Amino acid sequence: MKLLHRQIFKELISIFTLSISGFMGLILIGRLLQFRDLFMGQSIGILDMAKLFMYLCPFFLLILTPIATMLAIFLTFLRMNADNEITALKSGGLSLYRLLPAPIIFCLLCTGADIFFSMYGLSWGTENFRNALMEFARTQSQLAMQPGVFNRDFPGLVFYAEKVDDKNGVMHSVFVRDSTRKGMTATIVAPLGEIRTDPAHGRLLIHLENGRIYQQEKEQLSVLKFKNYDVRIPLANILQGYDVDELRPKEMSWEKLVRISRGGDRAGEIDPRFIRKVDVEIQKRLALPVACLVLGMFAMPIACIFRGMKQQYGLIISMGLFLVYYTMLSLGVTFGESGTLTPVIGLWLPNVSFAIVSGILLKMAVMEHSFSFSFLKIFRRKAA
C-alpha cells in the first residue's frame, strides 16, 4: 500500500512540476513582450532582467499553484483510469477511499506553499521589484545629469548642474526650471542637490538644499527660501509608462492589509472603496491557498468518473473547470469591491461550491457511476 501511494505521489509531483514550468514559461514570454520597450530602450542586463522576473514569481505562483495542483491530480487519475489501474485495484478489494492519502497529502503541501506565497512571498517580491525599478530609474537619471549640460529629457522640466560627483551622485550649483503647473513657472537654484527614490510612493525626486525658488505666476514674482526642497521627476519616460505609484492592495504585505482593515492605518485612506478592496484582497489571499485542496479533491472523482478520455482531452476539461472556478472568483472580487456582496461570501463561495460538488462526485465515483466518451470515436471515424 505504501508503494502504491509513493508511486501516485511521484507522478503527482512530476506532472505538477511540468505544469508549473510550462505556465511560468508562457508568462515569462508574455512579460518579455510587455517589458520589451523598457528592456530595449534602456541598458538593462540579463541578470537584472532575471531578478525582475524572480521578484514577480510569487505573484504568479499564488494563482498558478491551485491550477497546477488540480491538473496534476486530474491527469494522474485520468491515466490510471484509462489504463484500467483503478479497476484492477478495485478488483483487488481496494476502495477509492484507500487512494485518498497521497492526493490529500499532496494538496496539503501545495496549500502550505501557496500560503507562504500569499503571506510572505507576494509582499517580498513586490517590494523588491519596486525597489529594483526605482533604483534603475535613479541610475538612469544620474546618467542623464551631465555636468554643464541642460537636460530636457523630462516634459516641463529643465535641469542643470555645474558639477556632478561620480562617486555619490551629489550635484553642485543646481538649476531647475519647472513649468509643469499651468500658468506658473518656478526657477529653483541651490548649491547642492541629489537624486533620491521613494519606493513606497513610487516617486523619483531631486532633493535640493539651502536654495531659493523664483516663482512667477501671471505678472507676479515671488521669492522663497528653503532648507530642503524636492522636485518630482516623472517616471513615464524612464520606465516606459510602467506604473509604480502608490501601493495597491494586491501589492501590500499581509500585515499592512490587516492593519488597514482593522482601522489602524486609515489615515489618508478613508475611501470606503479602498477599504473594500483591502478586505477583498485579504479574503483572496486566504481563499486561493485553500483552493489547492478544494480543486485537487474536485479533480480526483472527475478523473475517475470520465472513462475513455485521453489525456489531451483531459487537459482541456481540467482547464475549462478551472476557468469556471476562476470566473466565479473574479465575479466575487468584482461584487466584493462594489459592495454588492461581502468579501467573505464573494471570495469563499467558489471554494464552498466546488467542495460540495466534489463530495457528491466522490460518492458517485465510489459507487462506480461513470460517463463514457466512446462517442468521440464516431466523430473521429467520420473525420477520417
Structure confidence at residue 94 (pLDDT): 79
Residues contacting residue 267 through CB under 8 Å, at least 6 positions apart: none
> Which among 78, 20, 73, 25 is positioned nearest to 53, based on CA atoms?
25
pLDDT of residue 42: 58
Instruction: Give the span between the Cα atoms of 281 and 275, in whole angstroms.
Output: 10
Angstrom distance (rounded) from CA 66 to CA 75 = 14
Beta bridge partners of 157: 178
Stretches in the chain below the pLDDT threshold 50 = 267, 375-380, 382-384
What pLDDT, on a 0 to 100 scale, did the predictor assign at position 365?
A: 82
Q: Which residues have C-beta within 8 Å of that of residue 277, sequence separation ≥ 6?
A: 248, 249, 337
pLDDT digits (tens, 9 = 90+) for 319-373: 888 899 999 999 999 999 998 999 999 999 999 999 999 999 888 888 776 555 5
- Whole-angstrom distance, CA of residue 27 vs CA of residue 33: 10
* Residues in Cβ contact with 288 at an 8 Å cutoff, skipping those fewer than 6 apart: 62, 63, 65, 66, 114, 118
In which residue are the cell numbers 466565479 written?
328
Give the type of residue at 366.
V
CA atoms within 13 Å, Cβ hemisphere of 349? 17
CB atoms within 10 A of CB 305: 17
For the entire predicted model, the pTM comes to 0.78
**Structural Rg of the chain based on CA atoms:** 28
- DSSP secondary structure string, 305-316? HEES--HHHHHH
Distances (CA, A) of 373 to 86, 131, 302: 17, 53, 13
Contact status, residue 237 vs residue 37, Cβ threshold 8 Å: no
The CA distance from 75 to 101, in Å, is 17
For residue 168, the model assigns a pLDDT of 75
pLDDT for position 267: 47
Angstrom CA distances, 149 to 112, 153, 164, 207, 280, stand at: 56, 12, 11, 19, 50
